[in-house]
Structure 1
Amino acid sequence: MQLSTSPSDASKPTVLIVDDMPDNLSMLGELLLGAGYRVIAANSGPAALRLAAQNPPPDLILLDIMMPGMDGYQVLDRLSAESATRNIPVIFVTARDDPQDEELGLAKGAADYITKPIRPMLVLARIRTQLQAKQARDWLNSRNAYLEEEALRYAVEKERMQTVSIRALAHLAETRDPETGNHILRTQSYVNLLATLLKDHSRFKEILTPHYIKMLTLSAPLHDIGKVGVPDDILRKPGSLTPEEWETMKTHTVLGRVAIEKAETDAEGQVEFFKLAKEVAQWHHEKWDGSGYPDGLKGEAIPVSARIMAIADVFDALISRRIYKMSVMVHEAKDTIAAGRNIHFDPDITDVFLANFQEFETIAHRHFDDL
């Protein structure tokens, strides 16, 4: 039942009146129409629920309690259970004047409770108050939604800028060693895939959370940032390095960690990204048996981030041409990784890498260096 259909009513607040008595509907309807409201009416609980679910929904509901079939309390329960209607303020308008009934109605979520016989000025004042409160809530919700959208947009933009900045720094290091080509893209993709494959493993599931994997993937391109500190005559030497030159080359791990540490001092508070970036920079050349560098870490003492980076880095180095060596076939690289199990590499990480080797091979082909 709709008591007003004028097109000009569209901008007016809509009040749904629910009562099984036609006289009550008529009296309340005339009162609200005279006060400038748009009015719709229902003479049963099910009809009220249908009208409340329309789009747009009513701004306020005046609800009788004593109705056959579905009483007002049941109607309110159903309204509260649906996301589309739970935020519509409900005022009980009823002949039940027992304080316990009022307490029950308010406890169920009614915005107000008015007893019959109604006093017109009181009813209009209560309606006006609830509509003003709803208008304020709607404005706040709209504002909050806008702020959340802006915050998300800012976060996405910040992450994009961060990713670009990291890639730029990594490429700066790679310009010192031009034949590495897509090494950054490949190793980053290997790291992400390997960490994702390991996330449910009993040894790693507590560490490899989605956030950790995201931060590790973001930090992976910086694993060789320390190469900017290695002299060109060593970094670009076409032949084998002397023992002294090799010791200088190995310093790129510590140089990388120090460079990231200096950047970290500009950040406010602890940033997990910097922690992981330092780990992969300093320790991606450590070996499971303790024979790696720069600190000779062994087994579990090597951070998980660096253990994952180690396999990604070695695999890519094997299949890539360098100024001082030729590349090897992919199946030969796989055999080398397998031979390094429990010596160079964490055995469980190695097993997962080998079991899913085709996926890593696909990444290698996708970002192949056309030299």
Structure 2
Amino acid sequence: MPAAPVSAELASALVAIVCNATPARLVLNLRGLDCAIRLVTGAQAAASDELFKPADLIIVMHAPDDGIDALTAIRALRSHPRHARTAILVLGPSAALRPASIEAGATDVMIDPLDPLDLQIRVRNLVELALARQRVDRQSDGMDPETDRAGVDAALREREIIRRLMLAAEFRDDQAGDHLTRVAGCAIAIAEGLGLSEADANDIALASTMHDIGKISIPDSILMKPGPLSESEREEMKLHAVRGYHVLHDSPSHLLRLASDIALTHHERWDGGGYPQGLSTTQIPLAGRIVAVADVFDALISERVYKKAWTPEAARRHLEEHAGTHFDPACVAAFLSRWDDILGLVESGPPERAA
């Protein structure tokens, strides 16, 4: 497999692999990324201080028969200050491992048999996201609150990081950029219709561009599938909400914390029938309720490989019919109050152009 070009920063990243024996094929598959790799081998090593040394990404190969229990390793890593937020990728033999691993704190899970290219893409994305968050952390730590210019520069850098996270999403789905732009525009309209300040509306719109960042972990066979998903595929797709949250949460950045709330809750429903937590009414953060309306509207009016595009008017009727069940009625009312602006947004960036 030809090596993909890497940046100097990516090439300097450190990936730790927790396993019972040297995984020659895995190391060979990752060689194209040119990352530094540290092996933590054997059950005793996985339970020792060797596990807690610095790393930008930790890959845990689940093999309980050989003494490597991924769930135990994840919990141990998350309890250690150094790895409370480190990206953790679990490799395992059974799909039953997915929900338990995510609940324990894994960032992503891949199930055997592993596709070498999919593995390399997944590792590249997780490392780049980890490096991006490290840059945000360093910039936040270095801010001087008494210097206006420093605050402005930090805000600009923060937005640059978010723009690059958007590019990571577009790397998996070339229609994502247009969808994210329209969702952000709708989110501003709804927020302003609710009476939020311009600054708060802009923050929600910018944070909304990362609502589907967890989809970078979804296999192409599911993400790009032209027909209906099976039950197991739907369950896998639903995990993108929790995975996006794990990528973004616990950051010193206000915008990334806001984005993590949106990523986790934009598929919750007003009546409690959504996922992943089954939240209802005002248990759902306002930003999540706003983006739920914006996201569904744009999804309906967009053509996809598995469906035709709805007209804006048909999508509007859907929102009206499901206000109070799927959607916050106040958010739907705010959306409708800015209908002319919404139509202008659709006309300026028609979804059929992306399709």
Q: Answer yes or no: same fold by TM over 0.5.
A: yes
Looking at structure 1, the residues matched to 176 and 301 of structure 2 have their Cα atoms a distance apart, in angstroms, of 11
Of structures 1 and 2, the larger Rg is shown by: 1
Q: Distance in 2 between matches of 1:192 and 1:211?
A: 10
Q: Secondary structure at the match of 1:182?
A: helix
Deviation (angstroms), 1:212: 3.2
Q: 2:171 aligns with which of 172, 175, 179?
A: 175
Give the letter for the 1:187 counterpart.
V
Work out the CA distance in 2 between the residues paired with 1:356 and 1:181. 23
For residues 210 and 188 of structure 1, what CA distance do their matches in structure 2 show? 13
2:180 is aligned to 184
Q: For structure 1, which segment, 305-314 or 173-182, has the greater mean C-alpha deviation from structure 2 after superposition?
A: 173-182
Match of 2:273, SS? coil
How many Å apart are 1:209 and its aligned residue? 4.6
| Aligned partner (choices 185, 193, 213) of residue 201 of structure 2 | 213
Q: Does 1:355 align with 2:337?
A: yes
Residue type of the alignment partner of 1:279: D
Structure 1 residues 241-252: aligned runs within 5 Å: 241-252=229-240
Deviation at 1:367?
2.1
Q: Deviations over 1:258-290 (max 9, x none)?
A: 00126x2xx4xxx43233111100000111111
AA matched with 1:185: T
The residue correspondences of 1:76-115 to structure 2 (distance < 5 A) are none
Q: Deviations over 1:151-199 (max 9, x none)?
A: 4444333323322221221221133122344111111111112111212
- CA distance in structure 1 between the partners assigned to 2:177 and 2:262 by the alignment: 20
State how far apart, in whole Å, the 2-side matches of 1:251 and 1:303 are: 19
Between the aligned partners of 1:169 and 1:247, the Cα distance in structure 2 is 24
Paired position in structure 1 for 2:160: 164
Partner of 1:302: 284
Between the aligned partners of 2:255 and 2:176, the Cα distance in structure 1 is 24
* CA RMSD in angstroms, aligned pairs only: 2.0
Q: Which residue of 2 aligns with 1:322?
A: 304
In the other structure, the counterpart of 2:214 is: 226
In structure 2, C-alpha distance between the alignment counterparts of 1:180 and 1:211, rounded to whole Å: 25
- Distance of 2:283 and 2:294 partners within structure 1: 19
Partner in structure 2 of residue 341 of structure 1: 323
- Give the corresponding residue for 2:86: none
Aligned residues: 209
Matches within 5 A, 1:1-371: 151-199=147-195, 208-261=196-249, 264=251, 267=252, 271-369=253-351, 370-371=353-354
Check whether the contact 1:223–1:280 (CA below 8 A) recurs between aligned residues.
yes
Pick closer, same or farther for the CA change 1:367–1:163 going to 2, 3 Å: farther
What's the offset of the Cα at 1:210?
4.7
Contact 1:283 1:294 in 2 (8 A): yes
Structure 2 residue runs without a partner (length 5+): 1-143
Per the alignment, residue 37 of structure 1 pairs with none
Q: Whole-Å Cα distance in 1 between the matches of residues 312 and 199 of structure 2? A: 31
Distance in structure 2 (CA, Å) of the matches to 1:162 and 1:277: 13
| Superposition deviation, residue 211 in structure 1 | 4.3
Higher relative contact order (CA 8 A, sep 6+): 2
Q: Tell me the distance in 1 between the aligned counterparts of 2:277 and 2:343.
A: 31
**One-letter amino acid of the structure 2 residue matched with residue 155 of structure 1:** G
Q: Distance in 2 between matches of 1:319 and 1:176?
A: 21
Unaligned runs of 5+ in 1: 1-147, 200-207
Separation in 2, partners of 1:173, 1:274: 15
| Map of 2:26 onto structure 1 | none
TM-score, length-scaled by structure 1:
0.53
Residue 95 of structure 1 corresponds to none
- Letter of the aligned partner of 1:217 in structure 2? A
Q: Distance in 2 between matches of 1:261 and 1:347?
A: 28
Report the Cα distance in structure 1 between the residues aligned to 2:291 and 2:267, rounded to whole angstroms.
Answer: 9
